[in-house]
Structure 1
Amino acid sequence: MSLAIALHLLASTIWVGGMFFAYMALRPVAAGLLEPPSRLTLWARVFEHFFPWVWASVIVLLGSGLWMTFAVFGGMASVGLHVHLMMTLGVVMMLIFLHLYFAPYRKLIRAVEREDWPSGGEQLGRIRRLVGINLILGLLVVIIASGGRYLF
Structure 2
Amino acid sequence: MPLAISLHLLAAVIWVGGMFFAYQCLRPVAAKVLEPPLRLTLWCHLFSRFFAWVWGAIVTLLVTGHWMIGLMGGMAAVGMHVHVMLATGYLMVALFLHLYFAPYQRLKKAVGASDWPQAGVQLNKIRLFVGINLLLGLITVINAVGGRMLYA
When normalised by structure 2's length, the TM-score is: 0.99
* 1:81 counterpart residue number: 80
Inter-partner Cα distance in structure 2 for 1:67 and 1:5: 9
* 1:35 counterpart residue number: 35
Inter-partner Cα distance in structure 2 for 1:37 and 1:74: 53
Query: Does 1:109 pair with 2:115?
Result: no
Which string of whole-angstrom CA distances, capped at 9 and with x for unpartnered residues, describes residues 63-117 of structure 1? 00001102x1111111000000000000000000000000000000000000000
* 1:7 counterpart residue number: 7
Inter-partner Cα distance in structure 2 for 1:74 and 1:40: 47
Which one-letter code corresponds to 1:83 in the other structure?
Answer: V
Inter-partner Cα distance in structure 1 for 2:81 and 2:25: 30
Inter-partner Cα distance in structure 1 for 2:136 and 2:147: 14
Gaps of 5+ in 1: none
Inter-partner Cα distance in structure 1 for 2:52 and 2:82: 26
Inter-partner Cα distance in structure 2 for 1:18 and 1:85: 22
* 2:58 counterpart residue number: 58
* 1:137 counterpart residue number: 136
Gaps of 5+ in 2: none
SS of equivalent to 2:73: coil
Inter-partner Cα distance in structure 1 for 2:106 and 2:40: 12
SS of equivalent to 1:74: coil
SS of equivalent to 1:139: helix
**Offset, 1:126:** 0.1
Which one-letter code corresponds to 1:31 in the other structure?
Answer: A
- Compute the RMSD of aligned alpha carbons: 0.4
**Offset, 1:8:** 0.2
* 2:90 counterpart residue number: 91
When normalised by structure 1's length, the TM-score is: 0.99
Query: Does 1:25 pair with 2:34?
Result: no
The percentage of aligned residue pairs carrying the same residue is: 61
Alignment size in residue pairs: 151
